[in-house]
Structure 1
Amino acid sequence: MSVLALLTLRLRDVIRGLWREAARFGVVGALAFVIDNGGYNLLVFGIPGAGGGPMHSVPVQASAIATGASMIFSWAGNRYWTYRHRHRDKVAYEAALFVVVNVVGIAITAGTVFLSRHLLGLDSALSDNVARTFGWVVATLFRFVTYRRYVFVSD
């Protein structure tokens, strides 16, 4: 078999592996997104039709709490499903790296709410959710790259 054919087969295998990994990461992320946004909306806006939520006056803190809850789910899902073949033997070290990466992710997501609320003066459910979705997308791209490169790597 020629070198070009071998390289083509290797590239195909790498792309397939990356695609499967990205799909699993996406499933975990989608579920974490539901936990995050559902939690945020319940904390800030409450149950629809029942009035404001318990953290209506502190939406940035509510965003951090909701994202923190989704972070716990995400770590378990990514460690034991997405990257089950790549995780470290030292769970505490891996978890610490995961937390550091996710603190940056929380800052990105909460930061978009801060910008929307305090710099743009927007305070509706729609503007909060648009800001959080934008922040979530940026934070998700950051997480995917850093999880693969720094967090879930074999020792």
Structure 2
Amino acid sequence: MKFVRRLYQRFSSLVHELAKFGSIGAIAFLIDLGLLNLCNVVLDQGPLTSKVAATSVSTTFAYFGNRFWTFRHREQSGLGREYFLFFLLNGIALLFGMLTIGFTTYTLGLHDPLSVNIANIIGVGLGTLFRYWSYRKWVFLEATEPIPMELPEAGIRQDR
């Protein structure tokens, strides 16, 4: 049991970070999947156009969830810089989805919604591995000094 406890203590911040990343990712995935099907099946926009639209919306949600919850303990290097890098890296990750959907639809000739959704799930899975690694490396940097868990009370007046 001591070994397990030491292992948990050593990796607890990573475990918590992964759990938060997974939670935000799961919600973003549901947004992506719902919008992909809405655009592709209901609005008949085509699978690749639908994927781009769905990813744009789900990426925006994921940025704010990851910045202000998953990686809030990390250095904040500027909203503009982070948002740009986040979308750039998500654009690269989007290629995984585009390639799997494009291959399924145009190479294999499978145009049905189930095939598109399976291809999307595979693409999202591959893209997720890339995104987690790249967010930690380039977007949400390690804090150079400890970031307080609560905001300081100094300077706040309450006239009541």
The TM-score with structure 1 as length reference comes to 0.84
**1:30-60 deviation line (CA, Å, top 9, x unaligned):** 00001000001011112xxxxxx241xx210
Amino acid paired to 2:133: V
- Report the Cα offset of residue 92 of structure 1: 1.1
Gaps of 5+ in 1: 47-52
Q: What is residue 31 of structure 2 aligned with on the other side?
A: 35
- Give the RMSD, CA atoms, in angstroms: 1.6
Q: What is residue 65 of structure 1 aligned with on the other side?
A: 53
CA distance in structure 2 between the aligned counterparts of 1:106 and 1:147, rounded to whole angstroms: 15
Q: What is residue 89 of structure 1 aligned with on the other side?
A: 77
Contact persistence 1:101–1:146 (CA under 8 A): yes
Amino acid paired to 1:44: N
Q: How many residues align?
A: 140
Runs of 4+ in 1 over 3 A off after TM superposition: none
Gaps of 5+ in 2: 145-160
Alpha carbons of 1:14 and 1:101: their partners in 2 closer, same or farther (altered >3 Å)?
A: farther
The TM-score with structure 2 as length reference comes to 0.82
- Report the Cα offset of residue 119 of structure 1: 1.0
Question: How much identity, in percent, do the aligned residues show?
Answer: 35
Amino acid paired to 1:81: W
- 1:134 counterpart = 2:122: yes
